[in-house]
Structure 1
Amino acid sequence: TQAGAEICTQTAVTGFECAQTAAGPQTVRAVQIGDSRIPCDAVVLAGGADTAQLAGLAGVELPQDHTFGATIITKPLPRLFQNIAVLHSPRDKQPHVNFRQFADGSVMVQGSGRDNYSQGDRGGDDAQVAQIVADSAEYVPALASAQVDHVRRGRRPIPKDGHPVIGFADDVTNLYLATTHSGVTLAPIIGELAAIELVDGTAVELLAPFRLGRFG
């Protein structure tokens, strides 16, 4: 890239070369890519639902779950909202749905049907998808005629206590972890603060409650 970064696509990390420091903890000397290695000064793990597995390759335990996530994208509809970015159904009413409309008129719909994300979304099959759209139509009747274009399904990373894990690991001092739900909304601020810690070597006080060490 113009900034000097090299992007390696379709490349699996198979391990880390670690060395003991005089103070006791380890540091990562290189990232193993199959038969190759990439020397490094620091490693950032921001692998979503696979972050815990990657951390384990360096001997770091990251308490993390992952749950099923699904978002439904409809075919374009006439403009539904004028000044609303995202609309959520009342938290005290089941099932839970939220939706937003894109510039092309398509609507993204998500339905958890539960009080939190610990048990995952609905949307695993066509019947659930149709029900989520119908639930959304209770709040926006125009969605009753919506046609589903496609469904995005994946795994949602959730640290054990539900809060982000951000910062260097205590046992591998140059291994930086960044995992959370929701990365879509928190990525801008996490990226900015993580860059300060990585480049400037300054601990950001705002991130203190979110260190891995809180799990003991």
Structure 2
Amino acid sequence: MPLQKRRIVIIGAGIFGTAMAYHMASPQTNIVLIESGSAPACGVTGRAFGWINTVHGRPGSESHALWQKAVRDYPALIQDLPEIRSFSRGGSLLWHASTQETEHLLTTRRDAGETVELVDRAAISRLEPHLRHIPETAVFSADDIAIDPIRLATTLLSTARRRGATVRFDETVSSIETANGHVTGVQTSTGLIETDCVVLAAGRGTDVLAKQLGIDLGMILSPALLLRYACQQPFIRHILDGPRVEVRQSLDNTVFIAESWHADMEEPPSLIGARFLSVLVDEFDIPSPLSLIRAEIGHRPTFHDNLPRIGFVPEVEGLYLATGHPGLILAPYLARLATRDILHGDMPDVPNVTTNNDPLPHKI
């Protein structure tokens, strides 16, 4: 008699949810992924800049070490899913206002074990021939990856579906049902789904559903602005991060700018997008006109220690957390480790799984 399949409901079709579905879907599992939107990456994942890197981490910290592992794991994902190459490209150039600051960045990244090199004006000009104001030096990282977050989530989910996962779009979760401290099901807008395990991967919605169960995750929402511009021709070859702008251009020629956002900012996102048009025109020889498509704010789920929350929640048996920032960098790697944890009891060897002593989710 065949063994009963493990019933697992994943809530959220962002990068964490789709990566979990991709790794867990198999003939031995019954995976149901629920998404309130009409497509993958409708939330914060779809508003991510798409830079797979470690430059924004603090060398020596647990979070930075985790980012390094995740970035080094990305080539294996691309090897397994070669179609990712059609919507990704490699390499980044970073520089600061002074040569001294740029050289310090190089030293810091090299000391952290990263493969980077210092390039001069001639090399920068060859790498980015449309750049107007060429710095004296820049740090070139060939291992960094620019990737389309929406297409990545879609690819992961499509593969999961081919492996047997069920995906239910336009369906909202109202509650997680429990009995005697154990998950029993998920109540949605279409009815009850009975399950043995629930993976909370819904970004900011994870915090809402956890609080319904009396669990405070300590989640902090960190807003960021993503600007998209239409362009007919390519003029940026790599991810560029300079004093004035953090920008990349995708293979379909869409231009992306990442910008910080604060709740007390007086300018609306659309005006900021219009203002950055002049920055782009000043920084680059642009071969065709640019037009602002969208200016969107993404609310990134973060925690005070800059670490994700991955693992079973002690208070509710069968409830699993999969959330944190930067999700696009971490999710494919952590979802692979989490799959071993859920299916085989092999707890991931990463900092701050929920069974660690500090910090833990706690009862409200």
Q: Any conservation in 2 of the 1:28–1:174 contact (CA below 8 Å)?
A: yes
Specify the code of the residue in structure 1 equivalent to 2:183: V
Q: Which amino acid letter does the alignment assign opposite residue 303 of structure 2? A: P
2-structure distance, mates of 1:144, 1:2: 40
Write the deviation string for residues 150-184 of structure 1: whole angstroms up to 9, x where unpaired: 22333222223332111111111311111112212
Point out which structure has higher relative CO (alpha carbons under 8 A, 6+ apart). 2
User: Contact 2:172/2:188 (CA < 8 Å) preserved in 1?
Assistant: yes
Match of 1:196 in 2: 340
Task: Tell whether the 8 Å contact from 2:270 to 2:295 is kept in structure 1 after alignment.
Answer: no
Tell me whether 1:87 sits opposite 2:230 in the alignment: no
Correspondence 1:23-102 to 2 at 5 A: 26-34=181-189, 36-82=191-237, 84=238, 86-90=239-243, 97-102=245-250
Q: Deviations over 1:185-213 (max 9, x none)?
A: 222112212212112221011x2334375
Cα contact 1:137–1:144 (8 A) shared by 2: no
TM-score for both structures, normalised by structure 2:
0.48
Q: State whether structure 2 residue 168 is matched by structure 1 residue 8.
A: yes
1:187 aligns with 2:331: yes
Q: Which has the higher helix share?
A: 2
- Given candidates 283, 295, 302, the residue that maps to 1:158 is 302
TM-score (structure 1 length as normaliser): 0.78
Task: Give the number of equivalent residue pairs.
Answer: 198
Contact 1:168/1:174 (8 A) holds in 2: yes
Distance, in Å, in 1 between the alignment partners of 2:176 and 2:320 is 13
Q: Which amino acid aligns with 1:8?
A: R
Shift of 1:2: 3.2
In structure 2, the partner of 1:104 is: 252
Residues 162 and 134 from structure 1, CA distance in 2 versus in 1: closer, same or farther, beyond 3 angstroms?
farther
Work out whether residues 68 and 154 of structure 1, in 8 Å CA contact, stay in contact via their aligned partners in 2: yes
**Identity over the aligned pairs, expressed in percent?**
26
CA distance in 2, matches of 1:188, 1:9: 21
- Cα gap change, 1:35 to 1:130, in 2 (>3 Å): closer
Q: Secondary structure in 1 aligned to 2:196?
A: coil
Alpha-carbon distance in 1 for matches of 2:282, 2:314: 49
Query: CA, structure 1 residues 105+192, in 2 after alignment: closer, same or farther (shift >3 Å)?
Result: same
Preserved contact between residue 312 and residue 319 of structure 2 (Cα < 8 Å): yes
Gaps of 5+ in 1: 21-25, 114-118
Q: Does 2:283 align with 1:128?
A: no
CA distance in 2, matches of 1:76, 1:186: 30
Q: Secondary structure at the residue paired with 1:162?
A: coil
1:34 shift after superposition: 4.5
Of 168, 172, 189 in structure 1, the residue corresponding to residue 316 of structure 2 is 172
Distance in 1, Cα, partners of 2:280 & 2:303: 29
2:99 alignment counterpart: none
Q: CA RMSD in A?
A: 2.8
Distance 1:210-1:63 versus aligned 2 partners, 3 A rule:
same
